[in-house]
Amino acid sequence: MNYSEMDTPTVLIDLAVVNKNIKNYQNYCDEKGLNLRPHIKTHKVPELAKLQLAAGAIGITCQKVSEAEAMLSEGGIDDVLITYNIYGHSKLQRLLELSKKCNLSVVADNSVCVKGLSETFKEVDKPLKVLVECDTGAFRCGVVAPEEACLLAQEINEMPGLKFGGLMTYPPISQQEKVNRFLEAAKNLIEAKGIAVEIVSIGGSPNMWEVEKIPIGTEYRIGTYIYNDRSLMERKVCSEGDCALTVLATVVSTPTSKRAVVDAGSKVLTTDLFGLTGHGHIIDHPELMISQLSEEHACIVSDSPTGLSIGQKVRIIPNHACVVSNMVDQVIFLEGQKVLKTQAVVARGKVL
């Protein structure tokens, strides 16, 4: 079957582009002497994680315990970092079971979570590696000062069942000097206490080709690079030909010559804008704009006739690929025009 014959909306993944993206960024990290630890939130497919590992990645990054469980369900993945505070008895017990199946690391930014980790892992033979998460300006989780990072590292270092592993941050976009200054100060304070800082984990797709601007980093966590998306196209991080994920949609209405409606709404394309105008890039129709989304509709508008007709199929590069993966049970693997197979999105919906 040619993909143009498929029912819609459906998510298409071009494996030729996937493999090119994996190879290119792995080579880049190798040249920079930086370990690559891909974030699987973009694809949520163990088969694709194994391609990343085979190319040279040292392990994977997950955001939730359930996501890591799903990724390990098919085997072949043996090194996982979970970059989220883990709190609560149920999650901690699942984390303990997970640690028996892989080399596991986690992050924490507060004493409450650290104490819970210690209580859970205090009887294990191999201590759990814990990195201190630092807020270097993105204003999410993380200690907000190098001195706090040092205090928490000392606490982890003294807790039974735990081992201090290093520092981790999700950097704000284009503030690399500030990020490096924070991490360098934290590292110096911790090492002055006689504690080794083995890992400084950084990441982020928008600045993926500028890793040398945070020279203190030892590993890079990145997700979107495997697919890329419109947000990265607009930042000149990638080109249209580097985008492996597209949404195939069908025109179902043309109320006027300057407006058309396709069958891929917010339940497929997502409402993320990232400061952009419109909800995706329509391949072969750059002059058209997806002006608004409702749950099942996307409205396409133009200052002149759209040229679209009912039944016509279009391919859309979404603003944010990662969210699209979490909205569908399955994707279609392609190579160019050739359909290879239907692939389950194994870690879809894993938010616990």
Amino acid at 155: E
Percent of the chain with pLDDT over 70: 100
pLDDT score for 74 = 85
Q: Please write the tens of the pLDDT for every residue from 225-234.
A: 999 999 999 9
- Hey, what's the torsion of the CAs at 270, 273, 277, 280, to 10 degrees? -40
Question: Mean per-residue pLDDT for 231-257?
Answer: 98
Q: Give me the residue label for tokens 């290093």.
A: 166
pLDDT score for 5 = 84
> Percent helix, strand, coil in the chain (nearest 5)?
35, 25, 40
CA distance 189 to 211: 23
Residue 47 class from Cβ within 10 Å (0-12 exposed, 13-18 middle, 19+ buried)? Answer: middle
Question: Mean per-residue pLDDT for 6-27?
Answer: 97
CA distance 236 to 225: 13
pLDDT score for 3 = 75
- The one-character DSSP state at 2 is B
pLDDT score for 2 = 78
Question: Mean per-residue pLDDT for 267-290?
Answer: 96
pTM across the whole model = 0.96
pLDDT above 80 (res 1): no
pLDDT score for 124 = 96
DSSP 3-state of 43:
coil
Lowest mean pLDDT among 89-98, 223-232, 290-299, 335-344: 335-344
Strand runs labelled E in 125-216: 128-134, 162-169, 199-203
